Amino acid sequence: MPLTDTACKNAKTKDDGAQAKYADEKGMYLLVNKTGKYWRLDYRFNDKRKTLALGVYPEIGLKLAREKRDEARRLLAEGIDPGELRKVTKATSKLSAANSFEAVAREWFAKYQPTWSEGHATRIIRRLERDIFPWLGNRPIAEITAPELLASLQRIEKRDAIETAHRAMQNCGQVFRYAVATGRAERNPAADLVGAIAPAVKTSFPTITDPSKIAELLRAIDGYKGSFITQCALKLAPLVFVRPGELRKAEWSEFDLEHQLWTIPAERMKMREKHFVPLSQQAVAILTELQALTGSRQFVFPGARTNGRPMSDNTVNAALRRLGYSKEDMTGHGFRHMASTLLNEQGWNRDAIERQMAHAERNSIRATYNYAEYLPERTKMMQSWADYLDGLKAGAKVTPLFKTA
């Protein structure tokens, strides 16, 4: 006799606690044991007796269980084993999940993250999580087409984040190439999108390169009325012209003031290579004065609210705004462009300048230089640069300063 909803609800184990079976029809029954109630279907395939799980009661009610039973019987009529089909479907689903764009992208990210700076890695994963994963993350990477990828990139483009769209396309291309290399995809659809996104307008960080304007800036920094620690960061920035993150995260353990050298460890450098910064006498004087205040702490420029963290990434820029320089006039990064422009104009060795800037070297032959190469010349250049800035600040006649042999 077929089961009813009431019979299913009242079904219990046997008096001795053993499991009990309550037959419905066409091979389906409700199996009741100490842990719960389970729908089962007994069937034969290739002369072998098999059992198929149809779900758990009451999540799967009687009506739905019968529908699942009838679907299994239709498969049997077509010569398909419903149990084996379920196994294949489940395995395929797992494989698809493992080979989804997001899964492959995160695997690629984990592989290369150790070679990137913390900030660079954070920007990449945030870009993917915000702009790509919501639309392509669950898709099998091998099935993603160029139009699908373009649609995601155009969403970024429509909010006028053109540079971000180009960087996202570059990151996606790297993920697809990794998928091809690891056998999860046949080709890289990002390669088909060259020219499909509007070209990004290249903009340089705002900077000041007019010597008379530099002099005004330096005098304004000397008159800064805010935090002494912030003022020291402002004073040191043009003398060392490292990246803002490298400056604000500086630790006292990295400095050898006696030998006038700052050694930035590889893990804090954008290019993941240890970097030497020769310190001019002026830079040493600033650091020596600051050491009396923060020398017992980890960071040279500790945050205002806690000693356990460096100053925020906006501190120097905010100080420049306080001095009257807008974001279109000058930024913390602008000190690098200032030094690079004028040092090249002054005739210093381009290789020494590039090495001091810690720029990536694209030429494979030139890239073989050691991180300490040109150090004597760089030491001389850094002192000359500091003297030049002092001269400007003091109102000296502004004339090009050329390196002497």
122 shares its domain with 69:
no
3-state secondary structure of 399: coil
- Report CA 379 to chain centroid distance, whole Å: 34
Q: Assign 225 a pLDDT band (cuts: 50, 70, 90).
A: very high
For residue 354, what is the domain's CATH number?
1.10.443.10
Q: Catalytic annotation on 369?
A: yes
Q: Please tell me whether residues 79 and 142 are part of one structural domain.
A: no
Q: How many domains does the chain have?
A: 3
Q: Which of 160, 193, 226 is the last residue of a domain?
A: 193
The answer as to whether 201 is a domain residue is no
Over residues 301-332, the pLDDT tens digits come to: 999 877 689 999 899 999 999 999 998 899 99
The reply to whether 120 belongs to the active site is: no
Same-domain check for residues 263 and 364? yes
CA distance 49 to 390: 93
In a domain, 202, yes or no: no
Instruction: Evaluate whether 371 touches 274 at the Cβ level (below 8 Å).
Output: yes
Cα atoms in the Cβ-side hemisphere of radius 13 Å centred on 343: 30
Start-end of H helices in 208-311: 211-222, 228-240, 244-248, 281-294
**Coil, helix or strand at residue 46:** coil
Task: Give domain status of residue 388, yes or no.
Answer: yes
Residues 312 and 251 in one domain: yes
Catalytic residue from among 243, 275, 355, 378: 243
Average pLDDT over residues 263-285: 89
Structural domain includes residue 206: no
Across 4-163, the runs of DSSP E, i.e. the strands, are 20-23, 28-33, 36-45, 48-57
Is 259 part of the annotated catalytic residue set?
no
Per-residue DSSP letter, 272:
S
Answer yes or no: do 382 and 247 share one domain.
yes
Phi, psi of 156 (to 5 degrees): -70, -45
The answer to whether residue 333 is catalytic is yes
Q: Given a cut of 90, is residue 128 above it in pLDDT?
A: yes
- Indicate if 337 belongs to the active site: no
Same domain, 154 and 31: no
How far, rounded to the nearest angstrom, does the alpha carbon of residue 54 sit from its chain's CA centroid?
44
Q: Is residue 81 part of a domain?
A: yes
Let me know whether 258 and 352 are in one domain. Answer: yes
Q: Are strands 48-57 and 20-23 parallel, antiparallel or unpaired?
A: unpaired
Same domain for 290 and 343, yes or no, is yes
Residue 349 reports pLDDT greater than 60: yes
Query: Catalytic: which of 268, 333, 337, 378?
Result: 333
**pLDDT grade for 28, boundaries at 50, 70 and 90:** very high
**pLDDT band at residue 188 using 50, 70 and 90 as cut-offs:** very high
Q: How far apart are the C-alpha atoms of 152 and 136, rounded to whole Å?
A: 8
Residue 247's closest CA among 342, 313, 158, 292? Answer: 313
In a domain, 142, yes or no: yes
For the chain, the 3-state helix, strand and coil shares in percent, each to the nearest 5, are: 55, 10, 35
Question: Which of 193, 222, 237 is at the close of a domain?
Answer: 193
User: What pLDDT was estimated at residue 259?
Assistant: 95
Which of these is catalytic: 177, 270, 309, 321? 270
72-121 pLDDT, tens per residue?
A: 999 999 988 998 888 877 766 665 667 899 999 999 999 988 878 777 88
pLDDT at 268: 84
Read off the DSSP letter of residue 297. S
Q: Is 251 exposed, middle or buried (0-12, 13-18, 19+ CB in 10 A)?
A: middle
Does residue 398 belong to any structural domain of this protein? no
248 and 382 in a single domain? The answer is yes
Greater confidence, 239 or 366?
Answer: 239
Rounded Cα distance between 315 and 330, Å, is: 14
CATH code for the domain of 160: 1.10.150.130
Three-state secondary-structure class, residue 80: coil
| Residues spanned by the domain of 89 | 5-98
Do 344 and 281 sit in the same domain of this protein?
yes
Q: Among residues 60, 83, 98, which one ends one of the domains?
A: 98
**For position 44, which CATH number holds?**
3.30.160.390
Q: Identify the active-site residue in 12, 120, 159, 359.
A: 359
Q: Are 210 and 187 in contact (CB under 8 A)?
A: no
Could you tell me if residue 232 is inside a domain? yes
Co-location of 240 and 298 in the same domain: yes
Per the annotation, the verdict on 321 as an active-site residue is no
Residues 367 and 261 in one domain: yes
Band (pLDDT 50/70/90 cuts) for residue 367 is very low
Of 69, 336, 337, 378, which is the active-site residue?
336
pLDDT of residue 405: 37
* Token digits of residue 367: 């890239």
